[in-house]
């Protein structure tokens, strides 16, 4: 849908479309994506900002290499697995020190966006 409107004396042309849970808008050369229900997913909050030990698939793609095993001790920044999407490789790294408590994928598997691939638990948590 497209319309023109005036805000504070300035005219804007707005193109917008609702797609499932999202609203897509094009305003003055900028594309904006909004969640229709902002509580469900906080916009701009990137999962990697806070270390959770939950390694999620950042995109749909194929697991091409798994470099760790269950119950292995890993260090923050250590490469865990390699994914491939759109013919480019991405290496997923540990976001904290700890022990791999779950490995939910295998080499050659096609995974969807947001799938929990690996769970790391901090060693200090276990002691406490």
Partner 1 sequence: MAKKIKRIAIANRGEVAVRIIRACEEMGIETVLLHSEADIKTRAYRMATKSICIGPAASAESYLSIKANIEGALAGAADAVHPGFGFLSENADFAEACKKAELIFIGPSAESIRILGDKVKCKELAQLAGLPLVPGYQGSNQDVAFLLKEAEKIGFPVIVKAAAGGGGRGMKLLKGMLGGKELIESAQREALSAFGSKIVFLEKYLDRAKHIEFQIFGDSSGQVVHFNDRECSVQRRHQKIIEEATSPSLTDDLRRRMGEAAIAIGTMGHYRGAGTVEFLLQDNEFYLLEVNTRLQVEHPVTEEVMGVDLVKAQILTAMGSLILDKRKIGSPKGHSIECRIYAENPFLGGIPSTGNLGLVQWPEGPGRRFEYGFETGDQVTPFYDSMIAKVIVWDETRSRAIQKMIHVLKDSVVFGVRTNIPYLIQILKHPEFVEGSMTTRFIEKHFAESLVEPPLSKSEEKLVEEFKKVNRGQGDSSGLNFSDPKSYMIGEFGRGNLVSHSQSPWQSFWRNV
- Residues of this chain that interact with partner 1 (CB under 8 A) are 1-3, 5, 7-8, 10, 12-20, 23-34, 44, 46, 58-61, 64-65, 79, 82, 84-91, 113
CB of 35 to partner 1, least distance (A): 12
CB of 125 to partner 1, least distance (A): 28
Q: Do residues 116 and 54 touch, judged by C-beta distance below 8 A?
A: yes
Q: What would the two tokens of residue 56 be?
A: 């999620």
Q: Which residue, 21 or 73, is less far from partner 1 as judged by CB?
A: 21
* C-alpha to C-alpha distance for 7 and 109, rounded to whole angstroms: 50
Q: Which residue, 71 or 91, is less far from partner 1 as judged by CB?
A: 91
At a CB cut-off of 8 Å and minimum separation 6, what does 37 contact?
Answer: 21
CB of 122 to partner 1, least distance (A): 25
Q: What would the two tokens of residue 110 be?
A: 């096609």
Q: Which residue, 77 or 123, is less far from partner 1 as judged by CB?
A: 77
CB of 117 to partner 1, least distance (A): 15
* C-alpha to C-alpha distance for 67 and 65, rounded to whole angstroms: 6
Q: Do residues 78 and 93 touch, judged by C-beta distance below 8 A?
A: yes
């Amino acid at each position: 849908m497209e319309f023109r409107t005036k805000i504070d004396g300035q005219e804007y042309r707005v193109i917008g479309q609702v797609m499932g849970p999202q609203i897509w808008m094009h305003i003055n050369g900028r594309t904006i994506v909004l969640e229709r229900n902002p509580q469900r997913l906080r916009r701009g909050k990137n999962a990697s900002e806070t270390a959770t030990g939950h390694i999620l698939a950042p995109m749909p793609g194929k697991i091409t290499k798994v470099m760790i095993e269950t119950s292995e001790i890993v260090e923050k920044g250590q490469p865990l697995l390699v994914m491939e999407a759109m013919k480019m490789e991405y290496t997923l790294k540990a976001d904290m020190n700890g022990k791999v408590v779950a490995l939910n994928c295998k080499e050659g598997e096609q995974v969807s966006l947001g799938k929990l691939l690996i769970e790391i638990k901090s060693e200090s948590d276990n002691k406490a």
